Amino acid sequence: MRELLGGKGANLAEMARIGLPVPPGFTITTDVCTYFTANKKSFPSGMDKQVRQAVVTMEKQTGKKFGDLKNPLLLSIRSGARDSMPGMMDTILNLGLNDNSVKGLAELTGNARFAYDCYRRFIQMYGDVVMGVQSHDEHEEEPFEEVMAKLKKERKVVEDNDLTAEDLQELIKRYKTLVKKFTGKTFPEDVYEQLYGAVSAVFGSWDNERAIIYRQKYNIPHEWGTAVNVQAMVFGNMGDTSATGVAFTRDPANGEKVFYGEYLINAQGEDVVAGVRTPKPIAQLADEMPKSHKELDAVRKKLERHFKDMQDFEFTIEDNKLYMLQTRNGKRTGLAAVRIACEMVNEKLINNKTAVSRIPAESISSLLVPVFDTTKLKNAKKISTGLPAGPGAATGKIVFSAARAEEISAKGIKAILCRVETSPEDLRGMIASEGILTSRGGVSSHAALVARQMGKVCVCGANGVVINYARKTLSAGNAHLKEGDYISIDGTTGDIFAGQVDTAPSEVNQVLAGKLKPAKSYTYQMFETIMQWADKYRKLGVRTNADTPEQSQMAVALGAEGIGLCRTEHMFFEGDRINYMRQMILATNTKERKAALKKLLPYQRKDFTGLFKAMAGRPVTVRLLDPPLHEFLPHDDATRRDLAEVLGVSPEIISERVKALHEENPMLGHRGCRLGISYPEVTEMQARAIFEAAATVLKAKKPIDVFPEIMVPLVGFEKELKLQVDVIHRVASEVMEAKGVKIKYMVGTMIEIPRAAIRAEKIAETAEFFSFGTNDLTQTTLGMSRDDSGTFLPLYKDLDIIPQNPFATIDQAGVGELVQIGAERGRATRKNIKLGICGEHGGDPTSVKFFHKAGLNYVSCSPPRVPVARLAAAQAALES
C-alpha cells in the first residue's frame, strides 16, 4: 500500500505483518496530506478521533501513556512519500516530553542524563523543524548548535556525551529562551499540540520550495502527497546495553552475501548518519551484543525472503531488545547489482527474468573495465576532476603528443596522452596510450567518442587542468607536472591523480583474451550467466561499430552478431597511407587521383580481408568515405613541408590546395556521398577493395563465408543513392566475373538527414537496408552541433528544455519520430528492409528500449557497449 502509506509506512507495516519487532505506531495517509494542502491546512473531520484512538492502542501495546507524568509514551514523527524524497521534512524524535514528564522519565529509568538528553534533542528538532528556529545563512552556525557549543566551552567538555544531567537541564533552559527570542512563542507543553504541530509541519513540508523543485526535476506528481508515520520511540541511548545502527542484507559495494553495516552503542539514530561519532562495523556487534547480533542476522534473512531484494535497514537496540525502524531496497554499485541478482536466482529468491529486469543495463559495463587497485588508491594524490568519458582506470607517463605516445609505448612504457583536445590525427597516439586526458571538450568530443569506441580510459573536459604544449607541463591547482611524470586517471569517476596507481584489467577481459580460465573467475561466470539470460529474451540484434580485426574480435567475444558500422576513414591514417590519402585529396585531376587511389587499394583490401576473416560470415556493414576531406590534411607547416617532399611538389602548392579545400561549416559541407558523387573513382576504389577482399576469403584454402553490406552515407536525395549504387553494382559484377566467384552482398544507406527519413519510401526503392545514423540525424534535426553544444546544453538541461543530452540519449519526440517515419516508409516500399541504428545511441539503454519499440532489427554500438545493449534489449522485450 505504498501509494497510501508512503514507502516507509508501507514497509514498516509489512515488517510488522511478517512478525518482525517494529515499535507500535500508525500512519496518517497521503490522502490526508492532499486534503490538508487543498483545504487551507486543515485536517479532515474525524481524524482527531482516529488519531486519539490509535494513540490509546499504542498506550495499551507499550504500557505507557502519552503525556503521562510517571511513564510517558514518547513518539517519533516521520515523513514518508511514495518514493524516498530528499528535501522533505526531517524526523522529530522524543515528542511527548515536557517540563513535567521529563522528570517522570528520569525517575522511571533511574537515568536523569538520558531523560534530559532526550528532552534537549526534542526541543532542538521540534524548534528547528516545526517552529523554524534555524539560520538562513549557510555560513552561520545553527542557533541551537551555537548555544550547545557555548555551554560545552563553559563546561570545558568536547563531546555532547560529556555533558552531565545538570548541564543538560541548563541547556534546556537556554534552548527555551532561544525559542522564545527567535519566535516570540513559548515551547508547547501540551503533547497533542506538539503532535499536531509536528504532523502539520510534515504535511506543510510537501509544499516547501525544495520539495517542489525536487518533484519538478524528477517528475513526481504534486498530488501524491506524503504520509506521516507516528511511532513509539525506542531508545538506543539508554546506556551500554543499547545501540542503534544501519545495515544492508548484503554488501552494497561488491554484492557479497555478508552482513554489512555499522552501529553505535548508546546513541540515537541521527548520531550514526550525522558522523558525530565514528560507528563500528556490524561484525563487532557479535562480540559486544551476541544475542542482538544473532537476532539481526535472522532478521536479515527474513527481510530478503520477504522483499526478494537486497535491503537497507535501520534498527535500534533498547536495553538488549531489538527493534526494526525501517527497510527499503538498498542502493548498490553496478558490480553489486549483477552479483546480487545472479546469486538471488541461485538461491531461488527470484527468477532470471526478474534478475534481467532488475540490473541497470549500464552496470554490466562495470564488470569490463580495468580498475585501480583499491589499496594503492589510498595513498594517491587527487589533483583534479574531469568528465568521466571512458570508464576504467589507467596509469602512465604524461605525454603531450600522439607521436610521443607511440614512441614510448613502443618501448613498453605506459603513456597517458594529455591534450587540450584531440583530433583524428591523434588516433594512433590514442591507440598507443593507456588513457586519454583532455582539458577541453565534452562527453561527445572526439576524445570521448574514440575512447568509447576503443574501450579506452578517458577523462575529458577537465577544466581545472592547464596544459602547456610549449613548456610540456600540466598543472592543476598547486600540482605541477611535466612530460614523463606519472599520472593516473579514473574514467569511471573522472578523478585525476598525480603519480602512479597500479591497475588490473577486468577479469572478464582476461578470460575473453584467453589469459584466465573461466572457472577461475567468478566475475566472468556472472557476466556469462546474465548475458545468456539476456539473449534468451531479447528481440533486437546487437552489432558493433568497429574498424579493425582486433576491435571486431573483442566485440564478437562480447556478443556482437555483426558489424553495424565500419568507418573506413580510420583506415587511412596508418603508416604511408596518410600520404597517399593526402595525395589523392590534393590531386587536381582525375588521373592523379586515380594514381593515388591505386596505391590505397591494396591497403583497403587487406584491411577488409582481415575484418571479414575476423567476422567469419557475420554481416559487415562498411560505410563509404564520409568525413570532410580537410580532416586528412596537414595543418602545421612542418607536416606540410614533409608532405611536399614526399609528393615532390612545392610547399606553396600544398598550402594553396589546403586553403582551397577549407570549408566554413564542414559538418554540412563536402562530405558523405557528396564526395563519392564528385569523385566516383573513390567509391569505385572502396567497392573494389571490399569485393576483392570478399573474393579472397571466399577463395581461401579454408574458405570463410562473407556478407558485406555497403552503406552510402549522408544521402538526402534518391538520386544521390542511385548514382552511388550504380557504381557499386558495376564494380561488384566486374570483380565477381574476374575472380569467378559469387558474392552475397547488400547495398543500403544511412538515414542521417531529415530529408532521407521523410523520403524513405522512395529511397527504399534502391536501398536494401537502412541504418539510422542518429549522431548526424540529431545534429541535423536539432540544428545543433554535437561538438559545440557543450556551451548551452547544461543550461538547457537545467531549464528542462531538453531533459537529457540528445547526443547521449535519443530525443524520442523529435529525432525518434523521424526514425519511426523512416522505418515505416521504408517498410512500405520494401517489406523486409533491414533496419538498424549505428549512432552512439546504440549503446545507451534508454535509447535501445526506444529502438526496440520502434521495431528496428538491430542496434550497433562500440565494442564495450555490446553487453549493455544486449541487456537493455532484453529489458525492453520483457517490459513490452
Question: Max alpha carbon distance in the chain (Å)?
Answer: 106
- Of residues 172, 201, 202, 233, which one binds ligand ADP by CB under 6 A? 233
Strand order in the sheet with 465-468: 465-468, 473-476, 479-482
- Minimum Å gap between C-beta 285 and ligand ADP is 16
Q: Do residues 352 and 345 lie in contact, with contact meaning Cβ atoms separated by under 8 Å?
A: yes
Q: Do residues 406 and 427 lie in contact, with contact meaning Cβ atoms separated by under 8 Å?
A: no
Q: Can you state the angle between helices 30-38 and 2-17, rounded to 10 degrees?
A: 150
**Binding mask of the shown chain, residues 566 to 605, with x at each position contacting Mg ion by CB under 5 A:** ----------------------------------------
Backbone angles phi, psi at 860, to 5 degrees: -130, 135
Residue 633 is classified by DSSP as: S
Q: Give whichever of 491 and 564 is closer to Mg ion, judged by the CB atom.
A: 564
- Of residues 11, 76, 266, 311, which one binds ligand ADP by CB under 6 A? 76
**Binding mask of the shown chain, residues 441 to 480, with x at each position contacting Mg ion by CB under 5 A:** ----------------------------------------
Q: Give whichever of 210 and 662 is closer to ligand ADP, judged by the CB atom.
A: 210
Cell digits of residue 241: 546495553
- Of residues 362, 406, 684, 776, which one binds Mg ion by CB under 5 A? 776
Q: Give whichever of 269 and 494 is closer to ligand ADP, judged by the CB atom.
A: 269
Cell digits of residue 796: 538547457
Please choose, out of 227-235, 440-448, 470-478, 551-559, the segment that lies near ligand ADP by the rule CB under 6 A.
227-235
Among Mg ion, ligand ADP, none, the one that 414 touches (CB under a kind-dependent 5 to 8 A) is none
Assess whether 838 carries a catalytic annotation: yes
| Residue 826 found at the interface with ligand ADP (CB under 6 A) | no
Among ligand ADP, Mg ion, none, the one that 234 touches (CB under a kind-dependent 5 to 8 A) is ligand ADP
Among ligand ADP, Mg ion, none, the one that 303 touches (CB under a kind-dependent 5 to 8 A) is none
Q: Give whichever of 89 and 596 is closer to ligand ADP, judged by the CB atom.
A: 89
The C-alpha atoms of residue 857 and residue 874 are separated, in whole angstroms, by 13
- Of residues 229, 231, 292, 326, which one binds Mg ion by CB under 5 A? 326
Please choose, out of 186-194, 228-236, 620-628, 715-723, the segment that lies near ligand ADP by the rule CB under 6 A.
228-236
DSSP 455-508: T-EEEE--TTEEEETTTTEEEETTEEEETT-EEEEETTTTEEEES---EE--HH
Among Mg ion, ligand ADP, none, the one that 237 touches (CB under a kind-dependent 5 to 8 A) is none
The C-alpha atoms of residue 562 and residue 544 are separated, in whole angstroms, by 6
**Binding mask of the shown chain, residues 389 to 428, with x at each position contacting Mg ion by CB under 5 A:** ----------------------------------------
Q: Do residues 267 and 278 lie in contact, with contact meaning Cβ atoms separated by under 8 Å?
A: no
Among ligand ADP, Mg ion, none, the one that 370 touches (CB under a kind-dependent 5 to 8 A) is none
| Residue 261 found at the interface with ligand ADP (CB under 6 A) | no
Q: Give whichever of 312 and 425 is closer to Mg ion, judged by the CB atom.
A: 312
Q: Give whichever of 11 and 789 is closer to ligand ADP, judged by the CB atom.
A: 11
* CA distances for 431 relative to 158, 459, 570, angstroms: 57, 15, 12
Catalytic, out of 33, 342, 446, 460: 446
Q: Do residues 152 and 146 lie in contact, with contact meaning Cβ atoms separated by under 8 Å?
A: no
- Of residues 3, 160, 262, 270, which one binds ligand ADP by CB under 6 A? 270
The C-alpha atoms of residue 64 and residue 72 are separated, in whole angstroms, by 6
Among Mg ion, ligand ADP, none, the one that 93 touches (CB under a kind-dependent 5 to 8 A) is ligand ADP
Interface positions, 745-774, toward Mg ion (CB under 5 A): 752, 773
- Minimum Å gap between C-beta 776 and Mg ion is 4
Task: Quote the Cα angle for 354-359-361, to 5°.
Answer: 125
Cell digits of residue 628: 570532410
- Of residues 33, 51, 73, 93, which one binds ligand ADP by CB under 6 A? 93
By CB atoms closer than 10 A (0-12, 13-18, 19+), residue 455 is buried
| Residue 231 found at the interface with ligand ADP (CB under 6 A) | yes
Pairing of β 769-772 and β 371-372: unpaired
Catalytic, out of 838, 841, 852, 861: 838
Pairing of β 371-372 and β 503-504: antiparallel
Spell out the residues 6+ positions from residue 229 whose beta carbon is closer than 8 angstroms to its own. Answer: 6, 8, 9, 12, 25, 26, 27, 28, 76, 77, 78, 79, 80
Q: Give whichever of 91 and 503 is closer to ligand ADP, judged by the CB atom.
A: 91
Q: Is the dihedral of CA 335, 532, 360, 792 positive or negative?
A: positive
Closest CA to 134 of 98, 183, 173: 183
Spell out the residues 6+ positions from residue 629 whose beta carbon is closer than 8 angstroms to its own. Answer: 585, 661, 670, 671, 675
Q: Give whichever of 362 and 776 is closer to Mg ion, judged by the CB atom.
A: 776
- Of residues 11, 27, 29, 91, which one binds ligand ADP by CB under 6 A? 91
Among Mg ion, ligand ADP, none, the one that 752 touches (CB under a kind-dependent 5 to 8 A) is Mg ion
The C-alpha atoms of residue 268 and residue 669 are separated, in whole angstroms, by 67
- Minimum Å gap between C-beta 445 and Mg ion is 16
Q: Give whichever of 681 and 752 is closer to Mg ion, judged by the CB atom.
A: 752
Cell digits of residue 36: 490538508
Interface positions, 291-350, toward ligand ADP (CB under 6 A): 314, 316, 325-326
Backbone angles phi, psi at 161, to 5 degrees: -60, -20
Find the residue with minimal CB distance to ligand ADP.
Answer: 269
Among ligand ADP, Mg ion, none, the one that 409 touches (CB under a kind-dependent 5 to 8 A) is none
Assess whether 852 carries a catalytic annotation: no
Write out the residues near Mg ion by the rule CB under 5 A. 326, 752, 773, 776
Give me the active site residues, please.
Answer: 446, 838
Write out the residues near ligand ADP by the rule CB under 6 A. 23, 76, 78, 91, 93, 231, 233-234, 244, 269-270, 314, 316, 325-326
